[in-house]
Structure 1
Amino acid sequence: MNNYNNKNKIIKKGLMMNLSNPKIIIFFLAFLPQFAAKNGNTTPIPLQLLYLGLIFVVIAFLVFTFISYLSGFLNRILSNKPSIQVVLNKITSLIFIALAIDLAVNQF
């Protein structure tokens, strides 16, 4: 039961963070109206925006669910193999070094 309560707390926290995120609100206000049809015989614009918002939410939910399951799967595979972790750490450090060099070159 404790695990269930923790999941609910995490879900509520994520929901509140997304609902209060001004970037999401600005995105919806700036991006979605471009796709609303202004013809007289179509669905009212507020309802169109609601449909578009719901489609966005469903797609985002599916993508984030896929990413969550994939990351959990990869975690189970990679956490038991220290040699793979060493290789991943080296690749990550090379990427950071390449980004630092690129930043240094582009600054001058």
Structure 2
Amino acid sequence: FGIFTAAALITSIGDGVASIMGVGLGRYHFPKKSSKTIIGYVSGFLASFGVGFFALWLFEPHITLLKMIIIALSGALVFLIIDLLSLKIDDNILNPIFCSLIMAFLYIVL
């Protein structure tokens, strides 16, 4: 349950923070012709890591701190990579699927 809660929070809060920070403070666009900004990417990644870690800490208290950090970091990285790729499929569809798959895989393997 904690993994999927973390993935849902990563995709909703991370995307929201990236948008708000990117529009409000972003000056440097990446790629150049995109409306997405570097500050949006960074703030989305940090927010994703934070909410992912918090959800794991809250709902999966039995796992180790290192495992929580690795799983939350992987979810944030997947979020960032999907955001950077700017595929034709909406990232709001891809993020929950791939974040939860990668995080669940690491939860089982670690």
TM-score higher than 0.5: no
Structure-1-length-normalised TM-score: 0.33
- Report which structure shows greater RCO (CA 8 Å, sep ≥6): 2
Structure number with the higher helix fraction is 1
Larger of the two Rg values belongs to structure = 1
Structure-2-length-normalised TM-score: 0.32
